[in-house]
Amino acid sequence: MIFRHFSLVKILLPMIILATVFACSDDNHKVVLPPLNANDSTQLAEYREQALSSTTFKDAEYYAKQAYELARVLGRLPEEGKALLLLYEIYYDNGLNAQALECATKASHLGDTLRDQRLLAESYHALGNVLSRFKNNPISAKNFADSFILYFRLRDTVGVTNVWRDLVPAYVNANIFDSAMIALGRCKVFAKRLKDERGMAETIAQEAATELAMFRCNAIKPDYSHLRVAYQRFRQAEAMNRKFNDKKIHKILVMGLMETLYNLSVVEEDPVRRQQLADSSMLYLPEACIIAQKTGVAEVIHRINILGVKVHYATGDMKATKHFVDSLVAVANKSDSYIDKETAYRAQSIFAAYNDDYEHAFAYRVLAEKNREVINYSDKSFLLSIQLAKGQNDDERAGAKRREAALKSASERQKLLIMMGIGFITLLLVIGTIIYHNYKRTQKLNAKINAINEEMRVQSEEIRVKSEEIMDGITYASIIQFAAMPSSVEMKHTFGDCLVYLEARNVVSGDFYWASEDVSGRYKLLAVGDCTGHGVPGALLSMLGMSILDYTTRHFGAGEISAGIVLDKMRNNFKRTLNQTSFSSDKTIDSIDIVLLVFDTQDKVLHYAAAFRPLLMFRYGEMMRMKADSMPIGIYPREKPHFTDNVMKLCKGDIIYLYSDGLTDQSGYEDAAAQYPRAYSTKQFFKLLKSIFQQPFAEQEIAIREAMDSWRLPKSAKQVECEKTDDSTIVGVAVNNFIKFDDI
């Protein structure tokens, strides 16, 4: 989806929130270490130089690990951090993304310990890059934001430019192409200012890759103008890179030209030229396969493999085509990824059609399209949220037009009265000099009224423009807020099939849901929060709450995650961020009601802690309501030192729901005889859940949405439709979908 506007404020919004959290840290106590002696410094430098100059992965890894171990033995944390970043770069270049993520995470912890802004900036930059490969776009964007702010503080223009340039693949993965082009435009400006020819070449290569992605994203009606622009940019970057022979640029060129040349050959009408383009594409194919494997990203690997199938199929090399098809099928059989299965089925369809086996070709094509529909599910949900925001924006604009029409009608009535006065004064002209002076005064009055009318018209136009700007800003803020929450695809990846229902009272929401898991996948975290207020104030608190949760859980190691301790630390960070030092009953105190679950999938145990929000569990067909601590995240007069860390054994078939009080607070009519609306009530909500909890989650979401909409509708002519009174959120998970239980 390409948006019309994406200002720098939208890029920096997560940066500002995270910078506020970091600003609360104590920077007055830095670790002071004695300098290295000459021999130690020389040995460390030799190890790093040997790692960088090594031609094989094993040699580079060996020397980088030697540098890391030597720094650890000497107790030199700064050199240990540099060695970790060197190991990250080696693992990242060879597609070992899990090892790269571990090294970057350790380096960021060392940066926190040392308060070393340079090490932190480079570590967050590395985390942004590797998390982008894991498709964790919200957390990747937050790490890029941290890195951007630290480079900005250090006045490192090159570092800032590199962050913008590395943000481009993340934007392209999310199909936010206009933001990618804006970032590339800034990179070009700084490359010209710094006279950085290599940076300019990389920027042009990424610009070409973005144009290619814009062509690729519309498979039904492809825009070949993007493809031709991509080809021109690739050739321009290729000519510039002959001077530098940069490996990073070369990889972009190989991957891009291979795909671009093949797609150009498909639409080329001249058979000689078509064959030349196909042959040129095949020249890049072997190296493109190697580069794709080294990224470790399944989507990239399968895109190259499916292109390999198409290229060899087009040239009639069925042996090579069969090799690529078998490779795709083997990977898909070992994977739960819908992308893997979609590409494998599509390749089998092509191969079956070549062998005149049209029955299997059609069957494989149907399976491919079914998997494609699952992949596109999150995009459809995203479009639905944008359509909702657009509808609310249209309502505001219609209201502004009605007000403008009312002002115009009042102005016309005022003019009519003035004309009647002028007619009356004309009849009295025979009276003499007094009437003449009155006439002059009337003319002056007309001039003033016209000036007032003009001023009213200008003010009305300014009000209309300001109203549109405000609504556009809120609409784009809602897009950023919902992008910061886990998408349905990410939720299904973590918890399997689940229920996610979030209905904002206004465009943006004070409710939020949040999910995470450790690198090993053993611990899975889930939370639902209800912030004070709704609309823009509530949305700002929700963004702050999600950021603090990410920041708090980032520093827990494997096996250390405790729901109670997480809420304790979250409350401390929240109070420190908002400078909450004393409680006052005569004004609103910002806070968050939240319930946090920590699933131990190995021991099949649930740890949970709750602040004013209970959780519901259905076990063996019976509903259990788990009570919460009577205190929120924030300052409170009767707060306890710690939140309760509740522990319970999970059973096969358990279904758990987290919800906000907006569902039970919605106003509506019970029946046609009701004179006044009332709240939906907790009792009625529990009755609804008991009737639907055994249904599939998709049907549960439809039932809840229909119940809420029906409740607010009038039941008779004397009643009127009730407006939404609060944000509403409910998240439900079934433990069977992500925890394996031994059958008894």
727 and 504 Cβ atoms separated by less than 8 Å: yes
512 and 545 Cβ atoms separated by less than 8 Å: yes
Residue-wise pLDDT for 409-427, tens only, equals 877 888 888 888 898 888 8
- As a whole-number percent, the residues of the chain with pLDDT over 70 amount to 86
Average pLDDT score over residue span 115-121: 91
Highest mean pLDDT among 74-83, 587-596, 653-662 belongs to 653-662
| CATH code of the domain made up of 156-281 | 1.25.40.10
Distance CA 109, CA 126 (A): 13
Maximal C-alpha separation, the chain: 114
Residue-wise pLDDT for 460-505, tens only, equals 788 888 878 777 778 877 888 888 899 999 999 999 999 999 999 8
> Residue 435: is it exposed, middle or buried by C-beta count within 10 angstroms (0-12/13-18/19+)?
middle
From first CA to last CA, the distance across the chain in angstroms is 49
Highest mean pLDDT among 8-17, 294-303, 388-397 belongs to 294-303
349 and 364 Cβ atoms separated by less than 8 Å: yes
What per-residue string of b and e applies to 172-204 under the rule 16 or more CB within 10 Å gives b?
Answer: bbbebbebbbbbbebbeebbeeeebeebbbbbb
Coil, strand or helix at 316? coil
Per the structure block, which two tokens stand in for 670? 């019970």
Per the structure block, which two tokens stand in for 380? 């459809």
Task: Check whether 708 has a pLDDT greater than 70.
Answer: yes
Q: Which CATH superfamily is domain 8-24+39-153 in?
A: Tetratricopeptide repeat domain (1.25.40.10)
pLDDT tier for residue 566 given thresholds of 50, 70 and 90: very high
Confidence (pLDDT) at 24: 41
Confidence (pLDDT) at 372: 61
| Cα dihedral 675, 679, 681, 687 in deg (nearest 10) | 60
Stronger pLDDT, 398 or 623, i.e. the higher one: 623
Confidence (pLDDT) at 373: 56
Distance CA 697, CA 731 (A): 10
**pTM for the full model?**
0.43
Confidence (pLDDT) at 698: 95
Average pLDDT score over residue span 719-723: 90
Residue-wise pLDDT for 255-309, tens only, equals 889 888 888 888 888 888 888 888 888 888 888 878 877 776 666 777 777 777 7
188 and 237 Cβ atoms separated by less than 8 Å: no
Residue-wise pLDDT for 596-629, tens only, equals 999 999 999 999 999 999 999 999 999 999 999 9
Confidence (pLDDT) at 623: 96
667 and 679 Cβ atoms separated by less than 8 Å: yes
Average pLDDT score over residue span 126-137: 83
Q: Which residue pairs from 273-279 have beta carbons closer than 8 angstroms and sit at least 24 positions apart in sequence?
A: 278/311, 278/314, 278/315, 279/315
Confidence (pLDDT) at 252: 87
| Average pLDDT for the chain | 82
Average pLDDT score over residue span 669-675: 88
Average pLDDT score over residue span 149-156: 89
| Cα dihedral 638, 641, 647, 653 in deg (nearest 10) | 40
Confidence (pLDDT) at 531: 94
Fold of 297-375: 1.25.40
Distance CA 683, CA 696 (A): 22
> Residue 30: is it exposed, middle or buried by C-beta count within 10 angstroms (0-12/13-18/19+)?
exposed
Q: What angle do CA 35, 38, 43 make, to 5 degrees?
A: 105
77 and 44 Cβ atoms separated by less than 8 Å: no
148 and 163 Cβ atoms separated by less than 8 Å: yes
Stronger pLDDT, 41 or 398, i.e. the higher one: 41
| CATH code of the domain made up of 485-737 | 3.60.40.10
As a three-state string, the secondary structure of 128-178 is: HHHHHHCCCHHHHHHHHHHHHHHHHHCCCHHHHHHHHHHHHHHHHHCCCHH
Confidence (pLDDT) at 574: 94
Question: What is the β-pairing status of strands 615-619 and 655-659?
Answer: antiparallel
Task: Check whether 378 has a pLDDT greater than 60.
Answer: no
Task: Check whether 314 has a pLDDT greater than 90.
Answer: no
Task: Check whether 32 has a pLDDT greater than 50.
Answer: no
Stronger pLDDT, 165 or 400, i.e. the higher one: 165
Q: Which amino acid belongs to residue 248?
A: K
Highest mean pLDDT among 62-71, 645-654, 718-727 belongs to 645-654
Q: How far is CA 166 from the centre of its chain?
A: 16
Q: 123-127, 383-387, 734-738: lowest mean pLDDT where?
A: 383-387
Distance CA 161, CA 183 (A): 9
Average pLDDT score over residue span 679-700: 95
Confidence (pLDDT) at 256: 87
Task: Check whether 6 has a pLDDT greater than 60.
Answer: no
Coil, strand or helix at 252? helix
